[in-house]
Structures are given as structure tokens and as C-alpha cells.
Amino acid sequence: MDDDENNVLIVTIVKKGWGDTVVQASRKAGAQGGTVIFGRGTGIHEDQTFMGFIVEPEKEIVLTLVPSSISEKVYKSIIDTVDLEKPGNGMGFILPVDRVFGVPHMCKLDYV
């Protein structure tokens, strides 16, 4: 990515075990990788019980940094692969990114 190109962060939240599938789908569409973070759901539909005990659903949050020029292709690949249009399979959103640093293969480095 060069400094003139806009970047976006695609955030995808899926059930535990689906994070690698999201990363594979995004790489297939042109992303260079992703970061998987573990979390837990707290939505109104997340409270489940097993034998009287509340089970907190575990989630995987996938962060995928891509140039905006391929973001539509990447997020559509994720939606299709993980079937995010189906209720309960997860959700995603895209955030603009002002600057990228610490990733030399993704941005120009300015030397002083």
C-alpha cells in the first residue's frame, strides 16, 4: 500500500472456531492476512444455559487491514464463505484507517 491509497479495517465477529475460515476467505480475495482475537458475546440472544448454568458464548474477532480498492471484494468473500447473511453466524463492519505504521510491506516508510 502506498501513502496515496486509502486503507480500511474490516472487523468480522464470528463464533469460536470460524476465525481461520474468515482469514482464508479474505486472503482468497486479496488480503495479505488477518489478526484473530478471542472474545465473548454479550448480546440479548447470547445468554444460553446448560443444566442451569449460564454459558457465555465465545467469539473470534478477525481484524483485516486492506486497501479500500479491494475492500468490497474481501468483505463479500467473507460474507459468502461464512454465510453472514444467516442469523446467528456473526457480523462485520468496515472502519476507515488514517495511517498505517509498523507494517513495512504495507506502507511507504518515511526516512528522516
State the DSSP H helix or E strand holding residue 69, giving kind and residue range, or none if neither.
helix 68-82
* pTM greater than 0.85 (yes/no): no
pLDDT value at 94 more than 90: yes
Q: What is the pLDDT of residue 110?
A: 40
**CA separation, residue 69 to residues 25, 30, 80 (Å):** 17, 10, 19
Contact 15, 89 (CB under 8 A): yes
Q: What is the pLDDT of residue 99?
A: 85
How close are the terminal C-alpha atoms of the chain, in Å?
A: 20
Alpha-carbon span 76 to 73, nearest angstrom: 5
**% the chain with pLDDT above 90:** 56
Residues 42-55 have pLDDT tens digits of 765 555 666 666 66
Cell numbers that stand for 17 in this block: 472456531
Average pLDDT, the chain: 83
Contact 59, 41 (CB under 8 A): yes
Q: What is the pLDDT of residue 11?
A: 97
pLDDT value at 26 more than 70: yes
Residues 56-75 have pLDDT tens digits of 678 999 999 999 999 999 99
